[in-house]
Amino acid sequence: NTGNGKLLRDMMMMSDRYRDPQGYVLAYDNAWKVGQAIAKNGNDLYLRSKAAAVETVKILNAAKAEGKLQMSRFEINALADAEKAINALTDEKDKFMSDMLALYKSEVKVFKPEANYKF
């Protein structure tokens, strides 16, 4: 052990930070922001997940607008699609679960949650 573990870790993070959206969001300062958004929603797993997604989109859009992160056309389109889907989500976990169960039951014929799960 050379004692350089943290230095090497930080160098790797900095080298990946601007290479793609995943590296940018996982950089310490941005991961911290996502963590703060999660923590603000207490124990509600649905709202915590939604807050993480909202914050991630916010971080990536800001980086794109400020020219900090170059994204491919595919990534830009995927981000726009994700933002649209996330903004359309309800804040009500029970409504989300009900809507998704109905959707999956209608689209996936082998999906039979009543046989395997208790909601």
82 and 29 both lie in a single domain: yes
Domain extent for 108: 90-119
55 and 107 both lie in a single domain: no
50 and 35 both lie in a single domain: yes
Predicted structure pTM score: 0.83
pLDDT in tens, 58-105: 999 999 999 999 999 999 999 999 999 999 999 999 999 999 999 998
What span, in angstroms and rounded, lies between the C-alpha atoms of 25 and 46?
20
60 and 84 both lie in a single domain: yes
61 and 103 both lie in a single domain: no
18 and 71 both lie in a single domain: yes
Q: How far is CA 3 from CA 6, 7, 9, 57, in A?
A: 8, 9, 11, 36
103 and 81 both lie in a single domain: no
Tokens 């929603």 -> residue: 41
> Residue 118's pLDDT band (boundaries 50, 70, 90)?
low
Q: What is the pLDDT of residue 24?
A: 94
